[in-house]
Amino acid sequence: MRRRDLLAGGAAMLAAGPGIRSARAQGDTWPSQTIRLIVPFPPGAANDTLGRAVADQLAPRLGKPVVVDNRSGAGGSIGSAAVARAAPDGYTLLLGHIGTLAVNPAIYPKLPYDPVKDFDPVAMIASVTNVMVVHPAQPFRDLQSLVEFARKNPNRLRYCSAGNGSAGHIVMLAFLQATGVQMEHVPYRGLAQGLTDLVAGVVELTIGGAPTVMPLVNQGLLRAIGVSSPKRMASLPDLPTVAETVAPGFDVRPWYGIAAPAGTPPEIVKRLNTEINAIVETPAVKARLELEGADPTPMAPAAMASFIKSEVQRWGDLIRAAGVTAQ
C-alpha cells in the first residue's frame, strides 16, 4: 500500500506539470536568499523612503536581508521593466506607485511592460496626501479665490511639476478637470527645480507631498491653501480639502505598493501580503508614513489587482483627454 501511495503521488505531481511542482517547491523553501526590492527612482524621493521603511521591517520578519536597489529612469519604467523580466521566484520585488503602475501606459507609447499582465500585485503600502502651495505674492489665500481667478483668466496661472506624468502633474490634471479651470503646465526635471522657480515667482503654484513643500511654507517662502485628500490631514488640520471647498467628492492621492513578477507562487504572494499589511500598521512605520503625509492602505492581492486595473483606466482616460505625452 505504501509503495502504491508513493507511485500515485508521483503520478499526480507529473500530471500537475513542472510549473506547479516548481511553485510548490519555491513556496515551501522561500526565502532562502537575499530579496531585492527595486525602487525605480533615485534615493531620497518619497518612493525610496517608503520602500526602505518596508524593507527595514520585512527583513527580520522573513529572516533574510531585503536590499533596496534604486534603478531610476524614464519615469520609473526602467526599474519596473527589470522586475517584469525577473524570475517569478519571490526574490525580486517592485516598489510600484500610481505613476509606474497606472499612468505610464498612457504616457509612454512603447512601455516595456504591462502593469496588469506583467506583475502580480502583492500589497499596498500607503496613499499620500498632496498640499497645494502658491507664491506668497499671489493674492490667493484659499482654494475658492484661486479657482475664481483661474476661471476669469484661463491659462494665466502657471503650475510646476516634476515632469509630465509625475504624481504632482496628474493630481493637478484631476484638479483642473474637477474645477473646470485652465492653467499652464510647466514641467521640470524634478520638483526641486520647480520649487526654486516657484519661490522666485517664475511660476505661481504647485502641488506636492507635505514633507517637500511644507518646509518652504514654514519659512514663509510659500503659502499652503489646500489638500487633495477627502479628509483634512491630522498634521495640518487648518488646511481645507479640495472636496469641502471647490470640488465635492475630490479624492486624488498618489499611492504606493509592492508588486512581483507575474507567475510568482501564490504562497509567496500571500506570505508577503500578510507581513507587509502588518508592517504598515506598526507604530514605527505609521509614524514614518505620517512624516510623508501618507496613510496606511493595507489591501489583499486580489483587491489590489482590481484597484490597479481601475486606476489604469481612470488615468489613461484623463491623460489621453489632456493630450499629455512623455517629455
Mean pLDDT of 247-270: 97
Q: What superfamily does domain 31-127+254-322 belong to in CATH? A: Bordetella uptake gene, domain 1 (3.40.190.150)
Q: How far apart are CA 56 and CA 36, in angstroms?
A: 12
pLDDT digits (tens, 9 = 90+) for 201-241: 999 999 998 888 999 999 999 999 999 999 999 889 999 99
The C-alpha cell 476669469 sits at: 152
Q: How far apart are CA 215 and CA 206, in angstroms?
A: 14
- Average pLDDT, whole number, for the chain? 90
Calculate the CA dihedral of residues 150, 155, 157, 159 and round it to 10 degrees: 120
* Confidence class for position 73, pLDDT limits 50, 70, 90: confident
Mean pLDDT of 295-319: 95
pLDDT digits (tens, 9 = 90+) for 126-160: 999 999 999 999 999 999 999 999 999 999 999 99
Burial of 34 (0-12, 13-18, 19+ CB in 10 A): exposed
Asked if pLDDT for residue 290 goes beyond 90, the answer is no
* Confidence class for position 16, pLDDT limits 50, 70, 90: very low
Task: Give me the pLDDT at residue 140, please.
Answer: 94
Mean pLDDT of 297-308: 96
Q: How far apart are CA 257 and CA 121, in angstroms?
A: 8
- Report the percent of the chain where pLDDT is more than 90: 74
Domains 31-127+254-322 and 130-245 share a fold: yes
93: CB partners within 8 A, 6+ apart: 35, 36, 37, 38, 83, 122, 258, 259, 260, 272
Task: Give me the pLDDT at residue 325, please.
Answer: 80
Mean pLDDT of 245-252: 96
Asked if pLDDT for residue 5 goes beyond 50, the answer is no
Calculate the CA dihedral of residues 278, 281, 286, 289 and round it to 10 degrees: 60
Domain ranges in the chain? 31-127+254-322, 130-245
Task: Give me the pLDDT at residue 327, please.
Answer: 64
Asked if pLDDT for residue 99 goes beyond 80, the answer is yes
Domain 130-245: give its CATH code: 3.40.190.10
The C-alpha cell 513578477 sits at: 261
Please choose, from the candidates 202, 212, 215, 228, the residue with its C-alpha nearest in 3D space to the C-alpha of residue 135: 202
